């Protein structure tokens, strides 16, 4: 009971953290103890090996000192026995003469110095020759003694020693060694100590190397590791058991919360599903979930109400109603605006197919029903039909029906989403627009006929005036004075200008009428334009540069010829008197359209007059300076804009002009434009 109460009140974070920390602590303590113990044991073993090596080195040094002292005491005694036991180490001592010396010690005998060597006889032996000096201080004999290393090493063995070792003696570049105890493995704990040799040993060197018996050391470490492992396993098991018991109690309560959250239905509401007994953090989490659910449910309901209100307002403003139904079921779901468009009040009738088609005009009913049935049965997924509605008050309205059919993976219709929109006003405006278009078309036709008749009727009197003026001049030529001739020149010039004006007006009115748009070679049209302007080109000696490669575009050949003829003709007309006209035609591809330019070195157009230059009857200079009717650039703009392009002029004042225009690549249908 106490544990249950403690577990129930235990904080979720504290319980989880305690379990994790306990397990982590046990593992860290076990690993740490093992590493510390291993380090301590190895350090202790290394210290013991070092002390033992120094002890053995001191022991060997003492033995060698004793041997050296004994040999020195008897160096003058030539009657020494052939063998002598010193301190338990067998040393062979004998007296030899010069004839008995070998190669290794004859030189030393002659010089009267000691000599030593390493011999491999008997498993390793050290030999030393000490010369015996006579009264004349010359050596005629010597003492040679031998020390067997195996016997020396046996003096280092002690009962119960867990170590082994070896004695290594190096003299004259050669070495010999003798081991005792167990061999030293390559990975054993070992230590070395140098043996202090007596002076009589010359330049020799002795080293004691000892090492622990790895099996005994490994056994000690293994036993210690076993105890640590047992303690760690027991502690881990205890911590895991505590964590398991605690986590099960926590998991059971958290699982209940998770199941409640997974099976919660907002439509059903109620946050009682998240109730958890107790007053710990899990219980508070359940209460928080319950409060959150209540707030979300309230927000969901508010959002639904606002969405319905927004949808209703949007449908009312757009005069669009929506409906949903399932094929095979007569019952449908209509929005309020759907009812309103049909002249019904929401709630007065049950929405159904029969109620809907009862409001459709009898003449339109079969067509609309057939279109909907064909879409549902697989003839298409979309329906768009205009039909007439007969409202309950007898008012007839025009509506547009749109429907989308939703299908399952097998292609069967599962839902129809439909809308109807009141388009009565739009239909009325379309009818009015159609009437305006018809009236405009008729007016254009009448205007074109008038322009043709007017130009013909106006030009005929002008031709008559010009003819009679010529007859008068011919009949009374000898009676005309200079003033009369000037007056007649004025008349002739006026007739010429009026004829040019009528011709340009007729050309302006005909732009866009009776055109035959098709592929047109721009290079060919420029050649025709230059042919018409050949007289002016010869007169001004103009230099005109045209690209060798020009595109083929969609347009009317006659209009394009007039366009280039007007632009190049203006460049020839508005030239500087002291310069030869230089005109450059260029074209570049700008993606969706071509851009043409005609640049010259003429008088240019001031920036403030560049837009005005494209107006009809707009002249920037007097007739006494430059001839013209002021219609040429207006015709150019009308030709370009009919195709959906733009035309403009650039350049510096009094330093030439650059006329540019764009020509769309997509072909446009010919459009008859009003004058």
Return the top range by mean pLDDT from 199-213, 354-368, 444-458.
354-368
38-47, 371-380, 549-558: segment of lowest average pLDDT: 38-47
**Does 217 score more than 60 pLDDT?**
no
User: Which pLDDT does position 615 carry in this prediction?
Assistant: 67
At residue 551, does pLDDT exceed 90? yes
Q: Dmax of the chain from CA atoms?
A: 189
Q: What pLDDT was estimated at residue 61? A: 78
In this predicted model, which residue has the larger pLDDT, 451 or 571?
571
**In this predicted model, what pLDDT tens digit does every residue of 63-110 receive, in sequence order?**
877 777 776 666 545 444 333 333 334 455 556 666 566 777 777 777
Element (H, E) at 93: strand 89-97
pLDDT tens digits, 149-207: 777 777 777 766 656 788 777 776 677 777 777 677 666 677 777 776 766 555 567 77
Q: Name the DSSP letter for residue 349.
A: S
What is the spatial distance between Cα 156 and Cα 55, in angstroms, rounded to a whole number? 10
What's the confidence (pLDDT) of residue 648? 92
**pLDDT in the model for residue 2:** 44
600 phi, psi to nearest 5 deg:
-140, 175
The answer to whether the predicted template modeling score (pTM) of the entire model surpasses 0.75 is: no
pLDDT digits (tens, 9 = 90+) for 300-326: 777 767 766 666 666 666 678 888 888
Residues 6+ apart with CB under 8 A from 252: none
What mean pLDDT comes out for the span 529-552?
A: 90
- 264 or 584: whose pLDDT is higher? 584
| Interstrand relation of 205-212 and 320-325 (parallel, antiparallel or unpaired) | unpaired
Q: What is the pLDDT of residues 231-246, one digit of tens each?
A: 767 767 776 677 676 6
* pLDDT, position 191: 77
More confident site: 341 or 246: 341
Query: Is the pLDDT confidence value at 574 over 50?
Result: yes
Q: How open is the CA angle 563-564-565, to the nearest 5 degrees?
A: 90
User: What value does the mean pLDDT of the chain take?
Assistant: 74
Instruction: Give tens-digit pLDDT for 480-521.
Output: 777 777 777 777 777 776 766 677 666 666 666 656 678 999
Distance CA 405, CA 394 (A): 32
16 burial type by CB count under 10 A (0-12 exposed, 13-18 middle, 19+ buried): middle
pLDDT above 60 for 431: yes
Would you state the pLDDT for residue 375?
A: 86
Residue 387 has pLDDT above 80, yes or no: yes
Distance CA 99, CA 534 (A): 142
| 652 contacts 604 by C-beta, under 8 angstroms | yes
pLDDT value of position 164: 75
Alpha helices per DSSP H over 545-647: 557-573, 632-642
Q: What domains lie within the chain, and their CATH numbers?
A: 41-216 (3.30.450), 319-422 (3.30.450.20), 423-510 (1.10.287), 516-664 (3.30.565.10)
What would the two tokens of residue 330 be? 């007569």
pLDDT of residue 674: 44
Is the pLDDT reported for residue 645 higher than 60? yes
Quick one: which of 507, 656, 665, 668 has its CA closest to 596? 665
In this prediction, residue 671 carries a pLDDT of 44
Residue 413: CA count within 13 A, CB half-sphere: 23
For residue 587, report the phi and psi dihedrals to the nearest 5 degrees.
-150, 140
Query: How many CA atoms lie within 13 Å of 181's alpha carbon, on the beta-carbon side?
Result: 21
Phi, psi at 670, each rounded to 5° = -65, 135
**Range 400-429 average pLDDT:** 87
Neighbours of 441 (CB within 10 A): 12
More confident residue, 653 or 536: 536
Arithmetic mean of pLDDT, 352-368 = 89
pLDDT above 60: residue 55: yes
**pLDDT confidence of 26, banded at 50, 70, 90?**
low
* Count of CB atoms situated within 10 Å of the CB of 668: 13
| Higher per-residue pLDDT: 59 or 229 | 59
């Amino acid at each position: 009971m106490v544990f249950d109460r403690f577990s129930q009140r235990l904080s979720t974070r504290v319980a989880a953290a305690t379990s994790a920390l306990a397990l982590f602590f046990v593992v860290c303590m076990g690993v740490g103890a093992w590493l510390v113990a291993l380090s301590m044991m190895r350090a202790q073993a290394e210290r013991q090996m070092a002390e033992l090596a120094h002890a053995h080195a001191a022991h060997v040094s003492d033995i060698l000192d004793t041997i050296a002292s004994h040999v020195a005491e008897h160096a003058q005694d030539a009657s020494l026995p052939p063998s002598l036991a010193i301190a338990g180490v067998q040393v062979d001592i004998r007296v030899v003469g010069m004839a008995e010396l070998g190669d290794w010690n004859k030189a030393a005998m002659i010089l009267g110095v000691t000599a030593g060597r390493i011999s491999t006889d008997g498993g390793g032996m050290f030999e030393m020759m000490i010369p015996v000096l006579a009264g004349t201080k010359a050596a005629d004999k010597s003492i040679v003694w031998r020390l067997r290393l195996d016997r020396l090493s046996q003096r280092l063995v002690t009962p119960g020693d867990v170590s082994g070792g070896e004695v290594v003696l190096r003299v004259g570049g050669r070495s010999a060694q003798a081991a005792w105890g167990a061999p030293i493995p390559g990975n054993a704990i070992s230590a070395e100590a140098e043996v202090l040799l007596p002076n009589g040993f010359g330049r020799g060197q002795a080293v004691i190397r000892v090492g622990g018996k790895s099996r005994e050391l490994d056994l000690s470490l293994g036993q210690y590791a076993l105890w640590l492992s047992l303690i760690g396993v027991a502690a881990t098991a205890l911590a895991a058991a505590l964590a398991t018991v605690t986590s099960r109690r926590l998991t059971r309560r958290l699982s209940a919360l998770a199941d409640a959250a997974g099976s919660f239905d907002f439509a059903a509401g109620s946050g009682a599903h998240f109730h958890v007994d107790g007053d710990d953090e899990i219980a508070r989490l359940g209460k928080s979930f319950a409060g959150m659910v209540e707030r979300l449910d309230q927000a969901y309901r508010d959002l639904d109400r606002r969405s319905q209100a927004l949808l209703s307002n949007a449908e009312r403003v757009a005069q669009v109603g929506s409906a949903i139904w399932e094929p095979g079921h007569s019952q449908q779901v209509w929005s309020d605006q759907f009812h309103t468009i049909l002249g019904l009040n929401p709630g007065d009738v049950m929405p159904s197919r029969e109620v809907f088609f009862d409001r459709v005009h009898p003449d339109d009913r079969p067509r609309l029903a057939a279109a909907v049935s064909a879409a549902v049965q697989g003839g298409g997924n979309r329906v768009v039909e205009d039909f007439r509605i007969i409202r309950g008050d007898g008012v007839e309205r025009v509506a547009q029906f749109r429907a989308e059919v939703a299908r399952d993976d097998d292609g069967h219709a599962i839902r129809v989403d439909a809308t109807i929109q009141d388009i009565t006003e739009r239909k009325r405006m379309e009818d009015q627009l159609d009437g305006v278009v018809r009236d405009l078309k008729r007016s254009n036709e009448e205007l074109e006929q008038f322009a043709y008749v007017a130009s013909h009727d106006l030009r005929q009197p002008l031709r008559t005036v010009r003819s009679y003026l010529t007859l008068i001049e011919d009949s009374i030529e000898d009676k005309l004075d200079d003033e009369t001739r000037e007056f007649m020149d004025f008349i002739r010039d006026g007739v010429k200008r009026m004829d040019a004006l009528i011709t340009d007006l007729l050309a302006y009115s005909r732009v866009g009428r009776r055109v035959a748009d098709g592929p047109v070679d721009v290079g060919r049209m420029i050649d025709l334009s230059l042919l018409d302007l050949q007289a002016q080109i010869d007169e001004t000696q103009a230099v005109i540069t045209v690209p060798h490669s020009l595109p083929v575009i969609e347009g009317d050949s006659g209009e394009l010829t007039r366009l280039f003829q007007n632009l190049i003709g203006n460049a020839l007309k508005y030239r500087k008197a002291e310069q030869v006209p230089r005109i450059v035609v260029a074209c570049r591809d700008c993606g969706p359209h071509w851009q043409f330019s005609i640049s010259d070195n003429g008088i240019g157009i001031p920036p403030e007059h560049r837009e005005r230059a494209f107006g009809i009857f707009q002249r920037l200079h007097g007739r006494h300076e430059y001839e013209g009717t002021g219609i040429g650039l207006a015709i150019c703009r009308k030709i370009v804009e009919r195709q959906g392009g733009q035309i403009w002029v650039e350049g510096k004042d009094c330093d030439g002009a650059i006329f540019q225009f764009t020509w769309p690549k997509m072909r446009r249908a010919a459009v008859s434009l009003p004058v």
